Each structure stands twice: as C-alpha cells, then as structure tokens.
Amino acid sequence: MNEPHEAQQAKAVGKIFAGDDADLLDLTLREIRSQEKRYGAMVSDLARNSDPKIQARARLILRFWGQSQKPELSGVSVRPELSTWADLEVFCWQLAEMENPEFDAATGMSYLDQIGVTVEKNLPRRSISPTDSISALRQILARREGFRGNLDNYFHPSNGYLHRVLETKQGIPLTLALVYIFAGQRAGLEVYGLNTPGHYLAGIGGVVFDPFHGGVVLSADDLAAKFGTERSCWASPMFMRATPRDTAERMLVNLLNSYSRRGDEGRHARTVAYLQMIEESFGDSV
C-alpha cells in the first residue's frame, strides 16, 4: 500500500532537515515558514522526531510562528541537554538568570526573533549561496545593529554572556558568533560554529566568516595566515565544526579566565561547577 501524500512529504522534508545541503535547506525552510496553515501539523510532528537535527529545525519554525513554548528557566539544570543549538541558547539564558536574577529571557529571545525576521527579509528572493546568507547577516548584525568585537575591554566577563552582548553590542569571538548563529537560524539559515584555536569563528555551507570582525568572509589563505598553518589545512574547514556542547564548554572556560584575571573567586567557583555538570553529562552519554 502506498504511503499517504502527507507522510511522503514529511519524510522528504525530514531528509532535507537532516542533510547538509545548505542551499536546499534554506529554500525549504523559507517555503515552509511562509505557509503555516499548510505545513503546521507536519512541522509539529517533525519537532518530536528522534533525530536532533530534524527536531531542532522544526522547533525553529514553530518558534518563528509563535507556537513553541518558552523554555523553563529555573536555573542551570543538573545535567544540561546540549545536543542542539536551541539547547545551547536555553543554557545561555539559564546562565544569565543565575548571574542576574532580574534578567528577563523573553527580552533577549524577542530581540533575536526580530533580528531573524529582518535578516530573512534581507535575503535575496532567488536561490541563495552561503556568501549571500553571510552578506545578509553582516548587513543587519554588523552594519545596522552594530555588533562588534570589544577590543578595548576584551577580558571583561560581560563579554562572555549572551544577554550582555545583546545589550552592549560588543563581545568576544564566541559570544558574537552565538548572536549570528541564533539570529541566522531564526532566519532559516544553517549557521554553525567553528572551534578554531584561540579565535572562535562561524560558517555557512563550508564558507567561514568572523563575527568578531564584522562578519568578514575568510578564504583558505586568510585562515592559513591567521592560524599560522598550511593553506591545505583549510581546504575543508568543516573538520573544525563545533558542537553545541563544545561551544558551551569553551564559553565557560572563557568565563573562568575572565574571573581569574579579576580575582573573583566566588563566580570562578560557580563557573567551575557549571563546567563540571557538562563534563559529567557528557561522560554519561558516551
């Protein structure tokens, strides 16, 4: 017996969501997001899929439609889930709440939602390339919103918290990359982090860019010069692709360094505890 059309469609969309074809994914996300009534039930089903990539992308669409529930922010969980970028965003809000009890996560999420909508409107109508996507992000985040690297006070702890970077528009490479990742994913773009040594970067479809320096695209020659390596090392930069868990650990290590420099023993110890929670969770999942 043939599968119903709806089941075939959901299977096809799930395959695209789980795949690595950035251009096809962008087109599919934009088509689905523009027709909530037609695709709403299918996306809700995909949001419960066992594949974390399918689940995360479906949830981003639901968030865009305003259907997703707000995350529970009752402090950093004992064993935080960090399998998707959406999980990492929740972790960032939890850290913000722990350090600033008066913080309202809804404000930060709403701001990222607005940026995402603006980025999507700034995308060309035709099939877009990774460089087109990066250009749209750079136009909104760097040029219009003014996000930039904090060169004057690089090691201040505020640069390591997502909510503070959204407020000040300044940060370090990792937190600025998170702004691009979270805003870009809201616009339907497959933005990811690159766990490059000493300077976290971001990418779309194999094209690398630097949020700390205004979203500038980096060629293989640029990357070789920046990191003092052979050009051949960057022929396929995807080997440096970061996971959300990698990124959370590196974010906490950055905070540890900042608090050590300031002699803030209390916050340093609390950050060590957060890092240990992630490491214990990782150990259980291996």
Residue 140 lies in a domain: yes
- Based on the domain organization, do 41 and 120 belong to the same domain? no
- Based on the domain organization, do 217 and 127 belong to the same domain? yes
pLDDT for the residue 236: 76
Mean pLDDT of all residues belonging to the chain:
86
Dihedral (Cα; 12, 87, 192, 241), 10-degree rounding: -100
pLDDT for the residue 134: 96
Residue 85 lies in a domain: no
pLDDT at 278 over 70: yes
- Based on the domain organization, do 135 and 192 belong to the same domain? yes
Query: pLDDT tens digits, residue range 192-211?
Result: 999 999 999 999 998 999 99
Residue 279 lies in a domain: no
| Residues 19-32, mean pLDDT to the nearest whole number | 77
- Based on the domain organization, do 59 and 125 belong to the same domain? no
- Based on the domain organization, do 120 and 59 belong to the same domain? no
pLDDT bin (cut points 50, 70, 90) of residue 1 is: very low
| Residues 113-134, mean pLDDT to the nearest whole number | 88
Q: Which range (42-51, 58-67, 221-230, 233-242) has the least confidence?
A: 58-67
* φ and ψ at residue 81, rounded to 5 degrees: -85, 125
Residue 93 lies in a domain: no
d(CA 181, CA 65): 19
- Based on the domain organization, do 42 and 156 belong to the same domain? no
| Residues 264-278, mean pLDDT to the nearest whole number | 90
Q: Left (φ > 0), alpha (ψ -120 to 50) or beta: where does 205 sit?
A: left
Q: Which range (56-60, 145-149, 268-272) has the least confidence?
A: 56-60
Domain count, the chain: 2
Residue 249 lies in a domain: no
| Residues 235-259, mean pLDDT to the nearest whole number | 91
Query: pLDDT tens digits, residue range 95-106?
Result: 998 888 788 888
The highest-confidence range among 10-19, 28-37, 229-238, by mean pLDDT, is 10-19
| Residues 239-257, mean pLDDT to the nearest whole number | 94
For residues 127 and 57, the model is more confident at: 57
pLDDT bin (cut points 50, 70, 90) of residue 81 is: confident
Final residue of a domain: which of 13, 44, 65? 65
pLDDT at 286 over 70: no
| Residues 146-154, mean pLDDT to the nearest whole number | 97
For residues 234 and 169, the model is more confident at: 169
Q: Which of 217, 186, 189, 188 is nearest to 201 (CA)?
A: 217
Q: Domain of residue 47: give its range.
A: 5-65
Residue 248 lies in a domain: no
Q: Are 253 and 208 in contact (CB under 8 A)?
A: no
pLDDT for the residue 282: 62
| Residues 240-247, mean pLDDT to the nearest whole number | 94
Residue 173 lies in a domain: yes
- Based on the domain organization, do 54 and 123 belong to the same domain? no
Residue with tokens 């976290």: 200
pLDDT at 68 over 60: no
